[in-house]
Amino acid sequence: MGMPSSFLENLFSVEDRIVLVTGASRGIGIALATAFSKAGSRVFGLGRTRQISKSKNFLYKSLDINDQSSFKDYCIEITKKWGKINVLINAAGISVAANEQVGSEVFEKIVDTNLSATFRCCEIASEFMDQGGSIINITSIASKLGFPGNPGYQASKAGLAAVSRALACDLAERYIRVNSITPGYIRTEMTRASYENESLRKQRSNRMIIQRWGEVNDLTGAAIYLASDASAYVTGSEIVVDGGWSIKGM
């Protein structure tokens, strides 16, 4: 009876992998960082928050990914101690605050962080990866569909989805895979305002096939799959985790 369990554990194992997670102070980032640490990975999390509570195997550092020099220094520090980076998960991202005026300055700030800085993180971290490395970028259904009032976020996430496909081609010769996870409405601090608005919450829930908002842990399985040997032949792909939002007809 032990054989099937052992087979699956080995297939999806991320034990002893060195995992770097951006945006790890809250929301999707901290959920994935915590999940990988529970799965036996050694996790290094980055975020702008000064300090957060951590779990076993989860070391957190306050660092803004827009500071690329510090990001590279941290990659060097990790590699000197642990040999290499196996997995990079880019969960860092900013959006428009409720009622915030969307001008060109806000647009550029969002694109700078969500797209440009994240792309450079991929480039830098990949220097410290070798065969079997995996980069996982967190995009959004906003990368595929039109939503009102937030063009910078949509442009940045659509760009990141395209960057993921491009890097899958560019890094293939070094056997580094690049994929993205495309969440729908996940209950986080970023989506709190619309979740707490009963009318908006119901409107969004009714648009889903699985009629509930996603929880951050709903993304764990997809991330572990893309980080593990189970997805060794998967690159340039997107896993959509949106409760069916983006494919629902009537």
pLDDT tens series, the chain, 250 aa: 456 679 999 999 999 999 999 999 999 999 999 999 999 999 999 999 887 766 779 999 999 999 999 999 999 999 999 999 999 999 999 987 655 667 888 999 999 999 999 999 999 999 999 999 999 999 999 999 998 888 999 999 999 999 999 999 999 999 999 999 999 988 877 767 776 777 777 777 788 899 898 899 999 999 999 999 999 999 999 999 999 999 998 7
Q: In this structure, what DSSP letter does residue 148 have?
A: T
Instruction: Read off the amino acid at residue 10.
Output: N
The H-assigned helical ranges of 13-150 are 27-38, 68-82, 104-111, 118-126
pLDDT value at residue 58 = 95
pLDDT value at residue 51 = 72
pLDDT value at residue 97 = 66
Q: Among the options 153, 185, 195, 225, which is catalytic?
A: 153
pLDDT value at residue 101 = 66
pLDDT value at residue 47 = 95
pLDDT value at residue 245 = 92
Instruction: Say how far apart CA 110 and CA 105 lie, in whole Å.
Output: 9
Beta bridge partners of 136: 89, 179
Q: In this structure, what DSSP letter does residue 132 have?
A: T
Q: State phi, psi for 55 to the nearest 5 degrees.
A: -110, 180
Beta strands in 24-81 (DSSP E): 42-47, 58-62
pLDDT value at residue 190 = 72
pLDDT value at residue 100 = 63
Q: Is 153 a catalytic residue?
A: yes
